[in-house]
Amino acid sequence: MITSCHFLGSSSQGNCLLVKSTGGNFLVDAGFSGKQILERLQIFNLSIEEIDAVFITHEHMDHSQGLRGLFKYGHIRCFANQATAVAINEKFGKTFQWNYFQSGEKFFYKNFVVETFSIPHDAIDPVGYLFRSQDGGKSLCWMTDLGYVPRQLQKYVEDSEILVLEANYDNALLENDKRPQAIKNRIRGRYGHLSNESAFHLIANAGQPQWQKIFLAHLSRDCNDSGIVTSLFGQDVCDRFNITVVDPHDAVGVSYACF
């Protein structure tokens, strides 16, 4: 079962979540250099030898750059669908050893059933994950880097007891940013990123969710602010669902103990 979750970082600059469980420890994404990941693991008194696996959502560098360093540790199992794995191999100019799955497939990892689902983002074959403990522990859903949440994906969101959901940008800050208009359109498009308002709408209109903890993550450093997100959601909603907004400038060490 999951015992705790710890962010090694979460922003447009890099994303990586450490999940500790009774069956072992694993990472979701590896968006920092291998050296940085090793250094950040030390904050939690862990060595790389104590990491069993890494689950990759897509090939963008803020989710995959650490694989270059992590692949040399042969005991770490690296999971991705084949299209993502091929894209990462080509990006790094190496052929790495992978554990493949098909998007939409369920498979077993230690004491978890891992459910994968395709998400709308401008990558080769991006996915989200739902980790279901088989021994009575909490379930964890990772859903970031998506332009919107299709109706068929809401069941994964609501079935999780621990939810990591993207709240990437504030509409006004993005509109007033100096980025080219084409980049702004890409970010707020259906294959871009989830806005604060979209994340709020999803949570506020949920049916009967199982949530015991929600992390609002992957905030843009330039086009968002944790205070804006907290204000939008309001204290009542934050208290009801135990919401933590992961500050993009100070994400390392944001944690949740599951018991």
189-204 pLDDT per residue, tens: 999 999 999 999 999 9
Cα distances (Å, whole numbers) of residue 169 to 10, 135, 184, 194: 13, 37, 10, 7
Specify whether the CB–CB gap between 59 and 81 falls below 8 A.
no
Q: pLDDT at position 78, please?
A: 97
Question: Is the pLDDT assigned to residue 259 strictly greater than 80?
Answer: no
Percent of the chain scoring above 90 in pLDDT: 93
**Residue 92: exposed, middle, or buried by beta-carbon count in 10 A (0-12, 13-18, 19+)?**
middle
* pTM across the whole model: 0.96
Q: Which domain holds residue 210?
A: 2-257
Q: pLDDT at position 225, please?
A: 96
In CATH, what number is assigned to the domain containing residue 243?
3.60.15.10
Residue 15 pairs in a beta bridge with 10
Question: Is the pLDDT assigned to residue 258 strictly greater than 90?
Answer: no
Q: How many domains does the chain have?
A: 1
Strands, sheet with 255-257, edge to edge from the N-terminal-most edge strand: 99-101, 77-81, 51-55, 24-28, 14-21, 2-11, 255-257
Cα distances (Å, whole numbers) of residue 70 to 20, 35, 36, 78: 18, 9, 11, 9
Average pLDDT over residues 77-98: 95
Question: Is the pLDDT assigned to residue 16 strictly greater than 70?
Answer: yes
Q: pLDDT tens for residues 205-225? A: 998 899 999 999 999 999 999
pLDDT averaged over the chain? 95
What type of residue sits at position 188? R
pLDDT-derived band of residue 136, with 50, 70 and 90 as boundaries?
A: confident
